[in-house]
Amino acid sequence: MDETQPRTIAARSALHAARRPEHTAVVCDGRAVGYRELHLASNRTGHALQAAGLTAGARVAYLGRESEHYYDLAVGCAKTGVVLVPINWRLTGGEVDHILRDSGAELLFAEREFLGAVERVRSSVPSLRAVVEIDRPGEPAGGFLAWKADAPDSDLDVPVHTDDPFVQMYTSGTSGLPKGVVLAHRSFFTFIDNMGLHGSDWIDWRPEDRTLICFPGLHSAGMAWFMHMFNVGGTSVIMRMFVAEEAVRLIQEHKITTTWAAPAMLDMMLAETGVTPGTFRSLRKVVYGGAPISPGLLARSIDGFGCELAQMYAAAETGSVVTCLSPADHVPGNPLLTSAGRACPGNLVKIVDDEGNQLPAGRIGQVCVWTPAHFVEYWHQPEATAKTLSEDGWLRLGDAGYLDEDGYLFLCDRIHDTIIVAGQNIYPVEVENAVREHPAVADVAVIGAPDPRWGETVRACVVLAPEQKLTGRELMLFLRGRLADFKIPSSYDFLDVLPRNPTGKVLRRVLRERLQSPTPQPAPQPAPQPH
């Protein structure tokens, strides 16, 4: 990247428009958008945001699938200091309502099929001044494009700095309510800068690359992958939503060179009819992460994709990649394949005990990382921010693990019991709260169970109230509409009692061990109650 240019998305857009105006920035639904075209379109978006009365620090939300308009809006926001709030279209109306209210979004850009859900919650969002429909591919301009049609395409005169907030990604917390993770412009520059300074290419983006966006930009990792490619001036090929058959077709049609995907996505692509190693001959690197990967799938990926593989470990709060298992480590039989790799150049990783003391190699504790890409804050949650981000820049992540003598990170469990299904984070408390609404349920604990395709699946351990009867199917139907579909448990175990420690906390580790055991286990005994 050009060392003389400010590390902001606005400056990068202007740079590419001047230096490689016709180079394709985005491909979506068969339409290619060059860097100059995207620059001018996002200038209009920025002027339209200003004409609507929005100033730096205001929030605007987007509810829809992937589209060129989403990234037009993202870059337009970056040029005005307005913060983009993406909303996962898979969420329920209640979850959408919470994000809109918590963020204080003043404008909402939504696709037509989600407008009904928006209208049902709009009255409870006092900050929301207008809803703009996103234009459908192939239809005449009438929504977003008409909304900004009269705006000029000249560059905006707004001072934007690398530490200014750019996007607010919502991630669930242990309370069950999503928290707004605020990321600055710098989060999408520092990783590339540090890898370049150290001459490393474990994970890299090149101006000549054509990358396939498997993860949506509504997800922190999807947005990061797109923005890293945008910042180096490469081409991003976008799917409206991930479909394995479509992904394979796009890789061949556009001669895709790189992609990032969850293990489940890799599995589905490799399983497509007619796929051979030659199908993926254009790929030079596949990066995976976001969920555990089975040894069998990893072996098939090494053989099936026929290119370099790299594993990444990150979190929404880290802003970018923390550790990487480099392509050189992807040798069949290498014991390090069970690790999450080493800290990337410019990052630090340590393991601490409950008191915050650093632990030696081989000792399991809480994973803490230092990275210059770290998040700014949890929106309107200073206590939660201080609990996660220390004054000297260390992030306390929710994972437990250990470092070996060579600095490779091995993840053992999730301190906060996060379940990751095909890269989507699911938090047990949120699911448990919904299950408890059923009148026949007396107690419940939710755990993640290993799954060879999805990484993990959601498993509910349910205790029924006296004299109540309930089937797993009945409970599944009850949860529809209360939870997003991907959060609904895929299996239900009905127990007499949940294992708890003396203070009454559910022992999820014991549940995981017992339910994964091939032999029946005796029913757990109730923990002694405090007097």
Asked if 455 and 384 sit in the same domain, the reply is no
Ordered DSSP codes for 426-467: E-HHHHHHHHTTSTTEEEEEEEEEEETTTEEEEEEEEEEPTT
Answer yes or no: is 281 within a domain: no
Point out the domain boundary residue: 167, 184, 201: 184
- How far apart CA 238 and CA 72 sit, in angstroms, is 13
The confidence score (pLDDT) of residue 504 equals: 61
CATH number at residue 348: 2.30.38.10
The confidence score (pLDDT) of residue 3 equals: 56
Point out the domain boundary residue: 355, 387, 414: 414
Answer yes or no: is 329 within a domain: no
Asked if 344 and 480 sit in the same domain, the reply is no
Point out the domain boundary residue: 398, 414, 430: 414
Q: Which domain holds residue 439?
A: 419-516
Asked if 133 and 69 sit in the same domain, the reply is yes
Answer yes or no: is 177 within a domain: yes
Give the CA angle between residues 447, 442, 95 to the nearest 5°: 60
The continuous run of DSSP H or E covering 24 comes out as strand 24-28
Question: Chain-centre distance of CA 31, in angstroms?
Answer: 25
CATH number at residue 157: 3.40.50.12780
**Counting every residue, how long is the chain?**
531
Answer yes or no: is 404 within a domain: yes
The confidence score (pLDDT) of residue 497 equals: 93
Answer yes or no: is 18 within a domain: no
Asked if 424 and 408 sit in the same domain, the reply is no
Asked if 71 and 157 sit in the same domain, the reply is yes
In the chain, how long is the greatest CA-to-CA distance? Answer: 74
Asked if 96 and 170 sit in the same domain, the reply is yes
CATH number at residue 423: 3.30.300.30
Answer yes or no: is 292 within a domain: no
Asked if 96 and 160 sit in the same domain, the reply is yes
Asked if 409 and 424 sit in the same domain, the reply is no
Asked if 140 and 42 sit in the same domain, the reply is yes
The confidence score (pLDDT) of residue 441 equals: 94
Ordered DSSP codes for 461-480: EEEEPTT----HHHHHHHHB
Task: Tally the domains of the chain.
Answer: 3
Asked if 485 and 355 sit in the same domain, the reply is no
Per-residue pLDDT of the chain (531 residues; tens, 9 = 90+): 555 677 999 999 999 999 999 999 999 999 999 999 999 999 999 999 999 999 999 999 999 999 999 999 999 999 999 999 999 998 888 889 999 999 999 999 999 999 988 888 888 899 999 999 998 877 777 899 999 999 999 999 999 999 999 999 998 644 457 899 999 999 999 999 999 999 999 999 999 999 999 988 898 889 999 999 999 999 999 999 999 999 999 999 999 999 999 888 999 999 999 999 899 999 999 999 876 677 888 889 999 999 999 999 999 999 999 999 999 999 888 999 989 999 999 999 999 998 999 999 999 899 999 999 999 999 999 999 999 999 999 999 988 889 999 999 998 867 767 788 888 878 787 898 899 899 999 999 999 988 888 888 999 999 999 999 999 999 999 999 999 999 999 999 999 999 886 556 788 888 988 887 543 333 333 333 333
Asked if 74 and 170 sit in the same domain, the reply is yes
Dihedral over Cα of 114, 68, 169, 166: its sign: negative
Answer yes or no: is 316 within a domain: no
CA dihedral 407, 411, 415, 418 (to 10 degrees): 130
Answer yes or no: is 360 within a domain: yes
Closest by CA position to 292, among listed 418, 428, 432, 461: 418
Asked if 43 and 77 sit in the same domain, the reply is yes
With tokens 């709260």, the residue in question is 433
Question: pTM to 2 decimals?
Answer: 0.84
| Inter-residue long-range contacts of 200-205, CB under 8 Å, 24+ positions, other chains counted | 200/344, 200/345, 202/310, 202/324, 202/326, 202/327, 202/341, 202/344, 203/285, 203/287, 203/310, 203/312, 203/321, 203/324, 203/344, 204/285, 205/229, 205/231, 205/232, 205/234, 205/258
